[in-house]
Chain A
């Protein structure tokens, strides 16, 4: 069975601080996909990134970066120089196959104070 754990329930930072959201996953599959989604107060889940289990290269996209480590089954997400607009709930998710069911973590609520 698959499982995604986001131990941080809520994080509060001041604008311009860096913040890292943790994600630990469990799966028996050798091939799997990891995702991060953002859910603003409007409720719609916004796709941020997908990572394949066979590609451990870290990725940076603007102020966002992701650190994928198979050895520790972690897929952490860092926001550099946080902004108030980053305030949202962030979900880490796992899928055994592309386009198949996503298993979500419980989410981390990020509040960025001005």
Chain B
């Protein structure tokens, strides 16, 4: 049973460019959340998708947008990249069927903006 997978593993972009990160949830999970983790800090919640709609959003600008597909996979898009967007982007999935209701995290995508 595959866990949460994310692609790509690493990414280098230039300021002002746009980037798309991808996440496949754990089998049987229908909810996907995205977090940004700057170096030396705890993850910060970006948004959560459920039934292909954004259900909850953290304190992030509109440059950050997302999408969830019918197969529950998700994309995170960031426009007009800033140097401060350099971080580890973590995807987490969960399901109402999960006994402990915990969110399972993927290995992350390391984004570097130069």
Residues of B near any A CB (own CB < 8 A): 31, 33, 35, 40-45, 48, 56, 58, 88, 90, 92, 94, 96, 100-108, 110
Residues in A neighbouring B40, C-beta threshold 8 A: 106
**Are A42 and B107 in touch, CB under 8 angstroms?**
yes
- A101 within 8 Å of B (CB atoms): yes
Q: Which residue of A lies closest to B107 (CB)?
A: A44
Q: How far is the CA of A44 from the CA of B31 in the complex (A)?
A: 18
What is the CB-to-nearest-CB distance from B97 to chain A, in angstroms, rounded to a whole number?
A: 11
- A104 within 8 Å of B (CB atoms): yes
Known: A50-B102, A102-B45. A43 touches B107 (CB 8 A): yes
**Are B43 and A91 in touch, CB under 8 angstroms?**
yes
Residues in B neighbouring A50, C-beta threshold 8 A: 100-102
Q: How many residues of A contact B (CB 8 A)?
A: 24
Given contact pairs A101-B33, A101-B45, a sample of 9 additional A-B residue pairs in the complex whose CB atoms are under 8 Å apart: A37-B105, A44-B107, A44-B108, A45-B92, A47-B103, A47-B104, A50-B100, A50-B102, A102-B35
Interchain Cβ contacts under 8 Å between A and B, 23 examples: A4-B42, A37-B105, A43-B107, A43-B108, A47-B103, A47-B104, A50-B100, A50-B101, A50-B102, A91-B42, A98-B101, A99-B94, A99-B101, A101-B48, A101-B58, A102-B35, A102-B43, A102-B45, A103-B45, A104-B42, A104-B44, A106-B42, A107-B42
Residues of A near any B CB (own CB < 8 A): 4, 6, 33, 35, 37, 42-47, 50, 91, 93, 98-107
Known: A47-B102, A104-B42, A104-B43. A99 touches B96 (CB 8 A): yes
Q: Which residue of B lies closest to A45 (CB)?
A: B105
**Are B108 and A100 in touch, CB under 8 angstroms?**
no
**Are A43 and B58 in touch, CB under 8 angstroms?**
no
Say which residue of B41, B56, B90, B100 sits within 8 Å of A100 (CB atoms): B56
